[in-house]
Amino acid sequence: MDFVKVVLLSFSLLVIVRVGEGQVPKQVIIRNGIPDKTLGLHCASADDDLGYHELSPGQDWGFSFRTRFLGGTLFYCTFRWHGRSHTANVFQQGYNRCTTCRVMVGVKGICYFDDPRYLYDCRPWY
């Protein structure tokens, strides 16, 4: 009987955490960190196509969304400038815990900033 109570309590807590996470609006802000080059970007998820946008050097563009109740929210973008093209995830539920997630696109790679953790994670382009 105690085992059943523990399982039910654990499941209830999981539901509360997931519902709470899904109720908080999320935002991704992408900055063009490439000097003297316009950055083209096309972002999407499995459910939403956010279209094509162009950013001047230092310019930001962003979008807002809510995460899925059962997890799995993923947004990715393809970035293009001066004959180059790279694709990267800009938000992945379970990895990014930020409310406002900042991404800076540079010549050598992409940097992520999750506001609650104050963490920059820069990754080179492959």
Q: What is the pLDDT of residue 7?
A: 45
Give CA–CA dist 93/111, Å, rounded. 17
In the numeric block, the tokens 């109740």 are attached to 69
* Domain spanning 25-124: CATH superfamily: Immunoglobulins (2.60.40.10)
Per-residue burial over 25-38, b = 16 or more CB atoms within 10 Å of its CB, e = otherwise = ebebbbbbbbeebe
Q: Residue range 43-72: average pLDDT?
A: 93
% of residues, the chain, pLDDT over 90: 59
Q: What was the pLDDT predicted at 110?
A: 95
Which residue, 102, 100, 111, 116, is CA-closest to 65?
100
pLDDT at residue 84, as a whole number:
94
Rounded Cα distance between 38 and 60, Å, is 12
59-70 pLDDT per residue, tens: 999 999 998 777
Q: For residue 115, is pLDDT > 60?
A: yes
Average pLDDT along the chain: 84
If one compares 67 and 41, the residue with the highest pLDDT of the two is: 41
